[in-house]
Chains A and B, each alone.
Chain A
Amino acid sequence: MSETKKFLYVNRKAPYGTIYALESLEVVLIGAAFEQDVALAFIDDGVYQLTQGQDTTGIGVKNFSPTYKALGDFDVNKIYIEKESLEARGLTLDDLMPLKYEDEDDDWAEKDSIHVVSSEELSEIMDQSDVVLSF
């Protein structure tokens, strides 16, 4: 079995209008299926990817936001949101989908996957990752 690497997927773009957000999500799910250590970061307009109540009927594309809620099932439970990006857009944690996972090592207790971190903390997280992929 090959060594597990720490992957960090950095999402910077709004969910619709470009293919980046959806492509990133698909790659994340594939990576997780191969049991890699996966973390996600959302910065700049990327924070909009996790907002609640997305409605795509007017633009004729699939609303894939419910899929983020499946990340916990895929053992993807390190989701970092940059505090500065949220604040710059007038958003708070309450505007985002509550993403949870069940901790196998803690009697399946439901825990939050989302962590709001400062820009400085995020750069530390990037530094500690083996692979950083930017979308």
Chain B
Amino acid sequence: MALDVGGKSIETDEEGYLVNRDDWTDDVAKAIAVAEGLDMSENHWEVVNFLREYYEEYQIAPAVRVLTKAIGKKLGKDKGNSKYLYELFPYGPAKQACKIAGLPKPTGCV
């Protein structure tokens, strides 16, 4: 599969995850979000940017439980709960937000 971003073809796997992590840009993220039926708000970006930083540091995407806890710590208790995160990413915060962040599917995610 491929994603068309500003006339450039970006390769994705059959589930829509980026094949090359280096292809990621803000515009690529927006295009993936559109394909997922999401409109990227500031709150979405907060989570996506958090995931990218986490991956950079630990070389893995966090599991939902870990993400929830870490977001709560970093962005405040009102955001560190699964209700808030599922409202932003209805198909699962780890799965969908990782896809938009250009990261591989989280370990343990089926």
Contacts and interface: CB of A to CB of B under 8 A. Distances in A.
B16 to A, nearest CB: 22
Interface of A: 26, 29-30, 32-35, 62-64, 66-67, 69-70, 73-74
Interface of B: 57-60, 62-66, 69-70, 107-108
A26 B107 contact: yes
Contacts, number: 37
A26 to B, nearest CB: 6
Residue among B62, B64, B70, B108 with the most chain A CB within 10 A?
B108
B102 to A, nearest CB: 16
A70 B66 CA distance: 9
Contacts of A73: 62, 66, 69-70
Given A26-B107, A73-B70, A33 B58 contact: no
Contacts of A67: 58-60
A124 B65 CA distance: 31
